[in-house]
Amino acid sequence: MGFFKGDVMMMMTMTVALNLEYLEAEFFLWSSVGKGLDTFAPYLTKQGPPPIGVQKANLPPLLADTFFQFGLQEIGHLRAIHKGLKEFAFPRPLLDVSNKIWAEFFDKALGKELKPPFDPYCNSLNYVLSAYMIPYVGLTGYVGTSPLLFGKEAKKLMAGLLAVESGQDAIIRSFLYQNRLKEVKPYGISVAEFTDKISCVRNELSHGMVDEGLVVPRALRSEELAKGNLLSADKDSLAYGRTPEQVFATVYGNGNASKPGGFYPKEEYRLKEYKKDGNGKEFEKEKAEEKEEYKKAYKKKN
């Protein structure tokens, strides 16, 4: 029996997770070994449509192995969520991870049309910059939605998902931090600048301060003493959180949680009714204050 049965808010929270895990599983599996869920765990797709634009990335053996492991971890996550949602677990939604979608996102992040269009599959640096996009949105979504959960089993599942997503994000950020000064060719922009631009556009799409790149103004660094920003966290070094609406607004790529787009061109598998918790107004106020702090810090930088 699914342990979310009868609790609409908890089921909605897990549908957010299920949507994200489908995306991560397909992107990591296909990019690393050229095969996806239909090969490794077809029973979890529930005959949902195959993803658009998937392909094997040009990765060295170590990175291919790393992201294959990530993909296999996502299979476990999907299985665990399916067990919890039971009959409410929905089929794999239509996903689009084509070059076109990635190019559009990076154009938006950089504020201009990149020439040639950004291709996440052509080399390891481009690929890891693309991977920077995904687990972090998931982990902030899990932080933001965990207060909506009740019951030991539901909380245990969320904590387990959050721990592994955080580990994936840390590995991705570590790789990029080591290469932060490298130029992303042929654009003449460093890896650190790319992460900053990606995080800024994700903040815009989420309508709040929930994201930071690898190099940030001193006011945003750990205790204002760190030289870099290896992990993204608030002034108390706690993870930022996204609401279900913020998660969808970000992965749709348009800032609108009710308008499918981006990686989810036809997102239909989720509960449409979104209810804020009792502290909704307080949460909005807090996010607005964080956004102002962020703007001030960047003004200081410049």
pLDDT reported for residue 129: 98
pLDDT reported for residue 284: 44
Better-predicted residue by pLDDT, 266 or 10: 266
Q: What is the mean pLDDT of residues 6-28?
A: 84
CB 82 within 8 A of CB 44: yes
Task: Provide the percentage of residues in the chain whose pLDDT is more than 70.
Answer: 85
3-state secondary structure the chain: CCCCCCCHHHHHHHHHHHHHHHHHHHHHHHHHHCCCHHHHCHHHCCCCCCCECCCCCCCCHHHHHHHHHHHHHHHHHHHHHHHHHHHHCCCCCCCECCHHHHHHHHHHHHCCCCCCCCCCCCCHHHHHHHHCCHHHHHHHHHHHHHHHCCCHHHHHHHHHHHHHHHHHHHHHHHHHHHCCCCEECCCCEEHHHHHHHHHHHHHHHHCCCCCCCCCCCHHHCHHHCCCCCCCCCCCCCCCCCCCHHHHHHHHCCCCCCCCCECCECCCCCCCCCCCCCCCHHHHHHHHHHHHHHHHHHHHHHC
Does the structure show a pLDDT above 90 at 1? no
pLDDT reported for residue 101: 97
Task: Provide the percentage of residues in the chain whose pLDDT is more than 90.
Answer: 66
241-274 residue pLDDT tens: 998 889 999 999 999 988 999 999 985 555 443 3
pLDDT reported for residue 9: 63
Alpha carbons 233 and 241: distance in angstroms, whole number: 10
126-140 residue pLDDT tens: 999 999 999 999 999
pLDDT reported for residue 77: 97
* Maximum C-alpha span of the chain: 56
Give this prediction's pTM. Answer: 0.87
CATH number of the domain at 8-301, out of 1.20.1260, 3.90.1310, 2.60.40, 1.10.3470?
A: 1.20.1260
Alpha carbons 230 and 244: distance in angstroms, whole number: 25
Alpha carbons 15 and 219: distance in angstroms, whole number: 36
Query: Which of 232-236, 276-280, 291-295 tops mean pLDDT?
Result: 232-236
Does the structure show a pLDDT above 90 at 8? no
134-181 residue pLDDT tens: 999 999 999 998 887 877 888 899 999 999 999 999 999 999 999 999
Fill in the amino acid letter for 248: F
Closest listed residue to residue 144, CA positions, set 291, 2, 295, 284: 284
Q: Quick one: pLDDT band at residue 84, thresholds 50, 70, 90?
A: confident
Residue with tokens 């939605």: 145
pLDDT reported for residue 4: 55
Does the structure show a pLDDT above 90 at 184? yes
Q: Quick one: pLDDT band at residue 190, thresholds 50, 70, 90?
A: very high
Q: Is the dihedral of CA 144, 269, 274, 290 positive or negative?
A: positive
Q: Quick one: pLDDT band at residue 14, thresholds 50, 70, 90?
A: confident
pLDDT reported for residue 136: 93
Does the structure show a pLDDT above 60 at 275? no
Alpha carbon of 203 to those of 73, 159, 276: distances in Å? 27, 24, 20
Better-predicted residue by pLDDT, 205 or 281: 205
Contacts 24+ apart (CB under 8 A), 284-288: 287/207, 287/208, 287/209, 287/210, 288/208
CB 267 within 8 A of CB 260: yes
Does the structure show a pLDDT above 90 at 287? no
Q: Is the dihedral of CA 142, 147, 148, 151 positive or negative?
A: positive
Does the structure show a pLDDT above 70 at 219? yes
Q: Is the dihedral of CA 103, 106, 108, 112 positive or negative?
A: negative
pLDDT reported for residue 233: 85
Q: Quick one: pLDDT band at residue 283, thresholds 50, 70, 90?
A: very low
